[in-house]
């Protein structure tokens, strides 16, 4: 995979076009596999996109007793294979980001798989292709590195210090995530 997902949470305007596009994506059974969350609903209306972080060592796959969640050679964590999923929901409890969802009617788990049918051919995932504020982007690694350097420089100028949160250690280097 030559391109990567890049998220800038503070760019999200809460339009939910990423969710609508996800519902329309082929093979998603009209279900959204990404979400738009509020940073702190009681304090502001600021939102942020939440999609699978494609973890280096995905907890959802580790806790699956049926080995139903597969990881592609490119590192994309796929939804549970229907023929293997036993409906235990361990994946929904194991994910530190709360991404996998369980459909009780169909007795299966579904989650963001970065529109693997598209991204394996270098085509943007549906959410990134429609995001009007560029909060979700599908870009080259070099472009991501340049954006990271620019963000670091701006944070130093603005006096912001990087904060460490345990769950972000699971996110691989090929997935650029930024939040202030």
Q: What would the pLDDT profile of 116-145 be if each residue is shown by its tens digit? A: 988 888 899 999 999 999 999 999 988 888
CATH number at residue 101: 3.30.70.20
In a domain, 106, yes or no: yes
3-state DSSP assignment of residue 75: coil
Residue pLDDT, tens place only, 10-28 = 889 999 999 999 988 877 7
In a domain, 84, yes or no: yes
- How far apart are the C-alpha atoms of 94 and 59, rounded to whole Å? 5
**What is the pLDDT at residue 148?**
79
- How far apart are the C-alpha atoms of 154 and 131, rounded to whole Å? 23
In a domain, 165, yes or no: no
In a domain, 161, yes or no: no
Q: Which residues contact 115 (CB under 8 A, 6 or more apart)?
A: 25, 123, 124, 125, 126, 127
Tell me the residue range of the domain where 104 lies: 53-111
Q: Which residues contact 120 (CB under 8 A, 6 or more apart)?
A: 1, 72, 74, 76
Residue pLDDT, tens place only, 74-119 = 889 999 998 999 999 999 999 998 899 998 988 888 899 999 988 8
- Geometric angle at alpha carbon 40, from 97 and 18, rounded to 5°: 55
Q: Which residues contact 153 (CB under 8 A, 6 or more apart)?
A: none
Residue 108 in contact with residue 87, Cβ under 8 Å? yes
- Geometric angle at alpha carbon 176, from 70 and 117, rounded to 5°: 40
């Amino acid at each position: 995979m030559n391109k990567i997902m890049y998220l800038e949470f503070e760019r999200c305007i809460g339009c939910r076009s990423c969710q609508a596009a996800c519902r329309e994506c082929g093979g998603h059974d009209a279900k959204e596999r990404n979400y738009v969350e509020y940073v702190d609903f009681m304090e502001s209306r600021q939102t942020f996109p939440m999609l699978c972080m494609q973890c280096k060592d995905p907890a959802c796959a580790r806790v699956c007793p049926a080995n139903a969640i597969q990881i592609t050679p490119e590192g994309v964590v796929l939804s549970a294979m229907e023929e293997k999923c036993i409906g235990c929901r361990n994946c929904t409890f194991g994910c530190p980001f709360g991404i996998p969802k369980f459909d009780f009617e169909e007795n299966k788990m579904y989650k963001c798989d970065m529109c693997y049918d598209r991204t394996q051919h270098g085509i943007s995932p549906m959410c990134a292709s429609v995001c009007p504020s560029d909060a979700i982007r599908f870009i080259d690694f070099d472009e991501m590195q340049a954006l990271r350097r620019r963000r670091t420089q701006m944070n130093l100028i603005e006096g912001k210090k990087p904060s460490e949160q345990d769950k972000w250690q699971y996110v691989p280097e090929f997935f650029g995530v930024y939040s202030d």
